[in-house]
Amino acid sequence: MFTTNPFAALSATVPPVAMRAYVVAMIVLVVAGTLFDIVHKGSARYFFDNWRRSRTRARSPLGGGELASIAIQTAVVDVLASGEFCNARRRIAHLLTMYGFVLHVVSTVVMVFSNSISDVWPHLWWVGGLMVLAGGYWFWFFIRVDVAAEGNSPWRVMRADLFSLSLLASVTLGLVWAFLQANGSGAAVVFFALYIVATTVLFASVPWSKFAHMFFKPAAAFEKRVSYANGTRANLPGPADKPEQFGSARTAPRHY
């Protein structure tokens, strides 16, 4: 089961060209949804306006080497290590979900578009899926804020939960489908249909979910680090009793 490409077995009933067309359609939905989100919410304009203000008001203009160093810090700390999360449990859950999602999606694309692949991709597909489930369900049931503290039901769902819930539904149904298919169960057809529905919701709901944030957050984190480094954010007054909390012009941003 863990060494078998589930999409290759599916090709007996679903033409490979149809599966590939579906993957391409989901990629187009993500690109179009992200562009719509950026234009509709003005994220790009907000970023570039902040960037221009930061350069205009900079106390210490930065050179190319310093900008490159900040870019590397942003990539390593804010993107690869999710440095915005101070809570260790939440960071681990986020990293499990993020890297699991990347593994799951990449291995899905490879297995759909490649006829002859090694056994490593089915392994990565299962590992990535299980990582998503571990991080996602851990966050949803044990870490998610705004539940017990405010007396809300753990089943309270908001639009902000659309991405995480559709992702969990897609991966869960996908793994169940692959398991049932490998064991020759007739119920595999039902779970495959539900898997397609959940996956379509995941990628088609980009303008209304937090999916697009993963593309904008690195740019926002980079701009924030640059503004701290060039002294722009140091222009903001801090509390009289704790001025050091805001740091100097060369202090890296802190996440609370």
CA distance 62 to 77: 20
| Residue 124 included in any domain | yes
Q: What is the pLDDT of residue 99?
A: 95
If one counts the domains in the chain, the total is 1
| Residue 242 included in any domain | no
Eight-class DSSP state of 12: T
| Residue 183 included in any domain | yes
Q: What is the pLDDT of residue 225?
A: 81
Give which of 117, 103, 73 is closest to 222, Cα–Cα: 73
The single residue listed with the structure tokens 């992702």 is 167
pLDDT for 199 beyond 60: yes
| Residue 249 included in any domain | no
Calculate the alpha carbon distances from 103 to 71, 142, 175, 243 in Å.
24, 24, 14, 44
| Residue 172 included in any domain | yes
| Residue 72 included in any domain | no
pLDDT digits (tens, 9 = 90+) for 13-41: 999 999 999 999 999 999 998 888 777 76
pLDDT for 253 beyond 60: no
Q: Which two three-digit tokens encode residue 39?
A: 């234009």
pLDDT for 129 beyond 80: yes
Q: Count H helices and E strands in the chain, helices first.
A: 9, 0
pLDDT digits (tens, 9 = 90+) for 224-241: 888 777 777 654 444 444
The contacts of residue 227 (CB under 8 Å, 6+ apart) are 50, 54, 233
| Residue 71 included in any domain | no
| Residue 135 included in any domain | yes
| Single-letter residue type at 97 | T
Residues 249, 229 contacting (CB under 8 angstroms): yes
Q: What is the pLDDT of residue 155?
A: 66
Neighbour-count burial of 2, counting CB atoms closer than 10 A to its CB (0-12 exposed, 13-18 middle, 19+ buried)? exposed
Domain span at residue 94? Answer: 6-39+85-218
